Structure 1
Amino acid sequence: MREEETDLLVERIKEITSEFDAFLEGVIEEHVDRKKGTSGGGDGDDEEKDFVDILLEIQNHKDASFVLDRDTVKALILDVFTGGTDSTYATLEWELSLLLRNPHAMKKLQEEVRKVANGKPKITEDDLDQMPYLKAVVKETFRMHMPLPLLVPRESTRDVKLMGYNIAAGTQVLINAWAVGRDPSLWDNPEEFRPERFLDSSVDYRGLHFELTPFGSGRRKCPGIQFAMSVNELVIASLVHKFDFGLPDAQKVEDLDMSETTGITIHKKLPLLVVATPYN
């Protein structure tokens, strides 16, 4: 990279960092001001607390056994914000792409969602438990396009021999969950999008079945599984409830580009563009 390109990149990094810092400062100040405005409200204020409020309470607690400075609070907010948006957005885009590529699956999902909705103006969380095919679509999307392909790094706590390899204690271990989801020894026709494979299967995504671990497993698995799944299922159900989808410019579904990017989170290489037609 040339020196001028490096300088531009550094300036861009500084600019984005400054924008994020200003945003996070605003979030913190908003919570501080709200707390001042509700001080003296008694125990009823507990119902209004969110993640930022709790961090600020810990920061101001005199008996805390550790120091939680301003930058650490902002780092934690940013970590939760990015962790709760990027992977969810990527999964939703893959779900819609796979459904468009497989019109029979799209039709089956729409029929299920619209039957459960039964004329209601919108889908609610209470409706989701009545949608087994929706849950199968989400699982199959996780299998084929794992949001975090290498999961969170682990470290071996003791010497172990695995599949002929000697792994010393202290070795950093990366789990290729993407490859596991495409392993033909675990899945029939792994390159085929077939949600039906999960309809009569006990395999779940909560970390107990190692062939499908989009949220990891063990003590370091994602703590926001339930929240992420509720958002994911509710959004995709609401979309197919209200709209029919097609590709622009008479593009054929079989020509839809499904290339992946490389990175911590796997996105479509080319953003998905669709035509949404309200369903009557």
Structure 2
Amino acid sequence: MEEHTEARKKSGDTKQHFVDALLTLKGNGGHRTIDHVIEAFETLQDMITAGMDTTAISSEWAMAEIIKHPRVQQKLHEEMDRVIGFERVMIESDFSSLHYLQCVVKESLRLHPPTPLMLPHRSNANVKISGYDVPKGSNVHVNVWAVARDPAVWKDPLEFRPERFMEEDVDMKGHDFRLLPFGAGRRVCPGAQLGINLVTSMLGHLLHHFQWSPPEGVKPEEIDMSENPGLVTYMRTPVMATATPRLPSHLYKRVAAEM
């Protein structure tokens, strides 16, 4: 922070890098000190760290389901070929036109929420839920994994069928309690949209660039979809796949990007 402060004094640089944005909070109306900036930095650092594992886990589960269901992969390729074509790579502005890809992301997060019990909550009052007393101060874990597989609210809940979200638009950022991969309320994941965009981007690039199939001698239905239980849910057996290029060779070279 000292380095950024000195650099801003010397050059008058107004670029809003991560640390610079936090430093603008210091002295704002006389209410914030360097300690407040450090606390904000640590909180945001925790958010970024928490988003790394969960994004990777979500992407792996989604790829496993896509490889396991060739029909889904074919529909994804057809959509991408129509929207993006074969002469460029996918960019973020394409997301809104890739409706089936969005449904695949949503369906994968329904079946495989990366934090199946969410983070612990604490009740701030005595409440009664479905006949059960929950005393004030109780630690509460919400089983979003079970909610998203409840046959009372989902048709064929164990089936990977992205089309269900084309038939009905279901919010997954805390407004529809049937689907809560990011939680809800004041404790909803602050990085929900970033996580959705990252998973969409990773899947989109992987699927647009390659045709994916199980390793030789393995049938799609033989892919191991068992879970490794824990605070976050990894695949017990990491997914293995063979990638076959689909695009012109020049699109596989590293493209310089302005950061």
Q: TM-score range by the shorter chain?
A: 0.7 to 0.9
- The 5 A counterparts of 1:62-81 are 64=32, 67=35, 75-76=42-43, 78-81=45-48
How many residues align structurally? 246
Decide which of 213, 228, 231 is 1:246's aligned counterpart.
213
Decide which of 174, 177, 180 is 1:213's aligned counterpart.
180
Residue 37 of structure 1 is matched in structure 2 by 7
Q: CA deviation at 1:167?
A: 1.6
- The 5 A counterparts of 1:164-179 are 164-179=131-146
| Separation (CA, whole Å) in 2 of partners of 1:180 and 1:268 | 20
Residue 107 of structure 1 is matched in structure 2 by 74
Residue 131 of structure 1 is matched in structure 2 by 98
| Separation (CA, whole Å) in 1 of partners of 2:81 and 2:194 | 23
| Offset from partner CA, 1:150-196 (integer Å, 9 cap, x none) | 11222222222211111222222110000111111111111110001
Q: CA deviation at 1:74?
A: 7.4
| Offset from partner CA, 1:125-148 (integer Å, 9 cap, x none) | 111101111111011101110111
Note if contact 1:59-1:67 (Cα within 8 Å) is conserved in structure 2.
Answer: no
Q: CA deviation at 1:81?
A: 3.0
Q: CA deviation at 1:68?
A: 5.0
Q: CA deviation at 1:103?
A: 0.5
Q: CA deviation at 1:209?
A: 0.2
SS of corresponding position for 1:85: helix
SS of corresponding position for 1:100: helix
Q: CA deviation at 1:65?
A: 6.1
SS of corresponding position for 2:237: coil
Q: Do residues 158 (structure 1) and 125 (structure 2) align?
A: yes
| Separation (CA, whole Å) in 2 of partners of 1:38 and 1:59 | 14
TM-score normalised according to structure 2 size? 0.86
SS of corresponding position for 2:233: coil
Q: Note closer, same or farther for the CA distance 1:166–1:77 as it changes in structure 2 (3 Å cut).
A: closer
Note if contact 1:181-1:212 (Cα within 8 Å) is conserved in structure 2.
Answer: yes
Residue 204 of structure 2 is matched in structure 1 by 237
SS of corresponding position for 2:216: helix
Residue 12 of structure 1 is matched in structure 2 by none
Q: Note closer, same or farther for the CA distance 1:190–1:259 as it changes in structure 2 (3 Å cut).
A: same
- The gaps in structure 2 that reach 5 residues or longer are 248-259
| Separation (CA, whole Å) in 2 of partners of 1:198 and 1:163 | 29
Q: CA deviation at 1:58?
A: 5.6
The amino acid that maps onto 1:37 is A
| Separation (CA, whole Å) in 2 of partners of 1:55 and 1:66 | 10
Note if contact 1:112-1:131 (Cα within 8 Å) is conserved in structure 2.
Answer: yes
Q: Which has the higher contact order (CA 8 A, sep 6+)?
A: 2
| Separation (CA, whole Å) in 2 of partners of 1:125 and 1:63 | 38
Higher helix share: 1
Decide which of 269, 272, 275 is 2:239's aligned counterpart.
272
Q: Note closer, same or farther for the CA distance 1:73–1:254 as it changes in structure 2 (3 Å cut).
A: same
| Separation (CA, whole Å) in 2 of partners of 1:173 and 1:166 | 12
RMSD across aligned positions (CA) = 2.3
TM-score normalised according to structure 1 size? 0.80
Q: Percent identity?
A: 35
Decide which of 57, 64, 67 is 1:90's aligned counterpart.
57
Residue 253 of structure 2 is matched in structure 1 by none
| Separation (CA, whole Å) in 2 of partners of 1:112 and 1:188 | 25
Q: CA deviation at 1:56?
A: 5.6
Note if contact 2:23-2:37 (Cα within 8 Å) is conserved in structure 1.
Answer: no
